[in-house]
Chains A and B, each alone.
Chain A
Amino acid sequence: MATTVAGTKPIIKTGFGGGSKPRGPNGNGSSGRNGRNAASRIQSSANRYRIGMWVAMASILMMFTALTSAYIVRSGSSNDWQPLATPRVMWLSTALIIVSSITLEIARRKLKGGFLSAQRVWLLASFALGVAFLLSQLFAWRQLVGQGIYVSSNPHSSFFYVLTATHGVHLVAGLIALLFMSMRRRVSSANEMQIAKSQAAADAMTLYWHFLDVLWIYLFVLLFFWR
């Protein structure tokens, strides 16, 4: 090693993960799509759906973090904050979304076990529960409107509508994805890539739904039980 060469060479020798063996998979233990055998390659190629979903969730979480910080700052910045009473129907919403999360998890496991028709039933059940959740949320809105509480009435009602609507928009996206998944034609059992992909998509979708579930519980607590 001549002294004129600075940089990569010596550093590769000293650090961790300086590179994999010539033909190994990606370095640093990363399960890239480039494992030696076809099965692991297919698996890691399908993995992009799971990775993408985690990344997307980080981004959505960031938006709700921003809204939360606005909520907390705004609630302390003046004395016009009049907390709403918890609409009773929101307990129902909460129950519905928790149950939908469970049914979707069952659907995911059915797919993993290869029980495709059972999976479709549980998917549709989750879809119906998701729609019921949205209707229940809408009902809460209608109730509040009936009491004359609008988005501009006071800061708490403003945040109530903003947070429930933002959550609802994300849930609608999830419903569309669910519908798309349940209407997809059955993949041929011979095509390993297709199977891996549909399993990964189902995993990602379920993950997203659980995320929306937990997010709703968090928002419910923030809106009505914080302070």
Chain B
Amino acid sequence: MSGETHDTHGAVHRHEAPTSFIRKYIFSLDHKVIGIQYIILALVAVLVGMTMSVLMRMNLSWPGTNWPILGTLFPGGAPDGMMTPEFYLSLVTMHGTIMVFFVLTTAPQGGFGNYFLPIQIGAEDMAFPVLNMLSFWVTFVGFVVILAAIFFSGADSTVGPIGGWTGYAPLSALPNSGPGQGMGMNLWIISIAIFCVGSLLGALNFITTLLNMRAPGMSLMRMPLTCWAWFTTAVLALLSFPVLLGGGILLLLDRTAGTSFFIPGGLYVSGVLSGTSVNFPIHTGGSPILWQHLFWFFGHPEVYIAILPGMGATSHILATFARKPVFGYRAMVFAIFAIGLLGFFVWGHHMFISGMSPYSAMTFSILTLSIGVPSAVKTFNWLGTLWGGRIRFTTPMLFSLGFVSLFVAGGITGLVLGQSSLDLPMHDTYFVTAHFHLVMGVASIFGMFAGTYFWFPKMFGRMMNERLGRIHFWITFVGVYCIFVPMHTMGIVGMPRRFAQFTEYEFLATLQPLVVFVSIAAIATVIVQILFYFNLVWSIFKGEKAGPNPWEATTLEWITDSPPPHDNFAGVIPTVYRGPYEFAVPGAPNDFILQTEPDPGTVPATEGTGNGHNGSRH
């Protein structure tokens, strides 16, 4: 790299890190520290979510078994060591809520996005560092409140509300509708509202930073695809979370102020008729479907908020380890945007069984299926990127390949469920559970695993252990398929979601061995994650030292130290001369060219010649 990488104004202008512990690590304004805080939050939240899923699997597969430890921990929820159905339902709710909000929304966007978006566009920090700090701590308070919901539901013998992460009214709107629906549900709504505010602050920051703080020469079409993905995700969050916030306010008022936004009249709940008791005031005329509309208008973009950063990371990592430019960069950018845009017009496909008009259903169906087009563009471009590449099978590469595989496997059933005629019988069966776990859950997490293994050397200056990483990958990869492929079968047979046990259903008896198989696979997969946590912690202290650019990658995060200094580029704003994925350029001395590298001699540095180098204007 020549010394001519910065402009005259790039004179060294350093910002030193604050020295006090609290300003440096707790209430830090540094986007890198905030990113790591988000990742730690997600790493803690995912433990809670995974534990809950294991408990659910135990209850499903071995009905009637006495688990003394459960009886000790939850004397009300699992008397004699056997879970009550309500306890199981509250596990379902809290597993979904914690995973969707506090894992799949925080780690990919708040975590990796915060850490790497400013560095990848050549900025010293986010546009509004104080808002950035607030965004994390607000999210943290949201997490504390959702944990409080677990404990405050103890009197009801549950670990939270029982209505699922979608909080459908009127179940969610009536405090007397069941165990966990009292204080637990209030805290649930408050937690989600707080989370909305935190996410909005984050999204505001991401968008402004990307629009305003790009380094010289970092045109939009020279940004890494990760930045495009984080940007689109931020736009989705910006426009969808306010809708959930509005709906949440109305729901909370229905519960606490006696309004009837979502509660219809004449309800008879838990043996009480609406209006005959002080605990159950009169309600008239509310529309439960209205909540579904508001929720899913947010809920569908939320799915893309979870997975788009994974798509970005996958594109980035596939190009790096296939040693080839991303196939169809521009198409990839437009595909991300198309997915994000269409994501706002398809919420109705979650509501096919709500009694909607077949014409509306058809409209939603066509729009839903059309998302298959940009998704296919992305998939084929990933394959095109791999085609003929000299692939390096590192752990991040394996996880990225896993992402592609899971995205296809989970996405293809989206085409099935997107058709109302097929959705009607399969809705509320395990088919749906399998579909969304594969595509929005596991695929997103694979994107984040890939990101962790890929960026860890940059974040901590040391490599993660490759051998452990590979073991982690293969067992997790096989494990998640063993968990979720059989669930499709169960769904087709007709096994309903959200049932605590299936002992009463004769037609499901033959599936019980499959249920047990899934549980064993799930438990094995969860146990293997210990390897990941161990690798993470061990590598921070004992990992092999990494240089600034261990993967021989091209984008701006690799020109600075590992870990980067407080102001990212030691006071020198880099100047960008080329696109993000210039691998295997013929005639170049290396098989990768950093974005900051001007062309040596062949082209006059001041004037683009239009031969591709320097990306001149046309």
A binds B: yes
B294 contacts A18, C-beta separation under 8 Å: no
B290 contacts A7, C-beta separation under 8 Å: no
A5 contacts B324, C-beta separation under 8 Å: yes
Q: Is B351 an interface residue (CB 8 A)?
A: no
> Of residues 1 to 36 in A, which have CB atoms within 8 Å of B's CB atoms?
1-2, 4-13, 15-28, 30, 32-34, 36
Complex: A6 Cα to B221 Cα, angstroms = 16
Bits for B380-396, please: 1 = Cβ < 8 Å to A, else 0. 00001100100000000
Interface segment, one of B173-181, B241-249, B360-368: B241-249
Q: Report which residue of A7, A15, A33, A70 has the largest number of chain B beta carbons within 10 angstroms of its beta carbon.
A: A7
Q: Report which residue of A5, A8, A79, A166 has the largest number of chain B beta carbons within 10 angstroms of its beta carbon.
A: A8
Q: Is A168 an interface residue (CB 8 A)?
A: no
Interface segment, one of B24-32, B53-61, B82-90, B201-209: B201-209
Q: Which residues of B contact A2 (CB under 8 A)?
A: 586
B285 contacts A77, C-beta separation under 8 Å: yes
* Interchain nearest-CB distance for A19 vs B (Å): 3
B285 contacts A155, C-beta separation under 8 Å: yes
A23 contacts B217, C-beta separation under 8 Å: yes
Complex: A56 Cα to B222 Cα, angstroms = 26
Pick the contact of B222: A19, A62, A79 (CB < 8 A): A19
Q: Is A219 an interface residue (CB 8 A)?
A: no
* Interchain nearest-CB distance for A123 vs B (Å): 22
B325 contacts A8, C-beta separation under 8 Å: yes
Q: Is B114 an interface residue (CB 8 A)?
A: no
B127 contacts A9, C-beta separation under 8 Å: no
B617 contacts A8, C-beta separation under 8 Å: no
Pick the contact of A70: B9, B200, B290 (CB < 8 A): B290
Q: Which residues of A contact B253 (CB under 8 A)?
A: 151, 158, 162
Complex: A9 Cα to B588 Cα, angstroms = 14
Complex: A121 Cα to B577 Cα, angstroms = 49
B219 contacts A26, C-beta separation under 8 Å: yes
Pick the contact of B612: A13, A59, A77 (CB < 8 A): A13
Complex: A162 Cα to B330 Cα, angstroms = 44
Q: Is A210 an interface residue (CB 8 A)?
A: no
Complex: A62 Cα to B199 Cα, angstroms = 14
Complex: A15 Cα to B615 Cα, angstroms = 10
* Interchain nearest-CB distance for A41 vs B (Å): 6
Complex: A70 Cα to B136 Cα, angstroms = 30
Pick the contact of B214: A7, A32, A63, A74 (CB < 8 A): A32
B257 contacts A166, C-beta separation under 8 Å: no
Bits for B220-233, please: 1 = Cβ < 8 Å to A, else 0. 11100000000000
Q: Which residues of A contact B605 (CB under 8 A)?
A: 22
Q: Is B310 an interface residue (CB 8 A)?
A: no
Supposing A24-B216, A70-B246 touch, asked if A5 and B584 sit within 8 A by C-beta, the answer is yes
Q: Is A192 an interface residue (CB 8 A)?
A: no
Supposing A5-B585, A79-B285 touch, asked if A22 and B325 sit within 8 A by C-beta, the answer is no
B325 contacts A7, C-beta separation under 8 Å: yes
Complex: A119 Cα to B573 Cα, angstroms = 36
B581 contacts A8, C-beta separation under 8 Å: yes
Q: Is B489 an interface residue (CB 8 A)?
A: no
Interface segment, one of B258-266, B406-414, B474-482, B524-532: B258-266
A27 contacts B220, C-beta separation under 8 Å: yes
Q: List 9 A-B contacts (CB under 8 A).
A: A7-B325, A7-B329, A8-B579, A26-B217, A32-B212, A45-B212, A152-B260, A158-B257, A158-B261
Chain B interface (Cβ < 8 Å from any Cβ of A): 7, 9, 127-128, 200, 203-205, 207-208, 211-222, 238-243, 245-247, 249-250, 253, 257-261, 265, 281, 284-287, 290, 293-294, 297, 319, 324-330, 384-385, 388, 573, 575, 577-582, 584-586, 598, 605-608, 610-612, 614-618
Given contacts A8-B326, A30-B214, A62-B238, 14 further A-B contacts (CB under 8 A): A6-B385, A8-B579, A8-B582, A13-B611, A13-B612, A13-B618, A19-B217, A19-B614, A27-B221, A51-B207, A52-B205, A77-B290, A78-B287, A155-B260
Closest 9 CB pairs of A and B: A27-B219, A19-B615, A78-B285, A7-B325, A152-B258, A63-B242, A8-B579, A66-B246, A66-B243
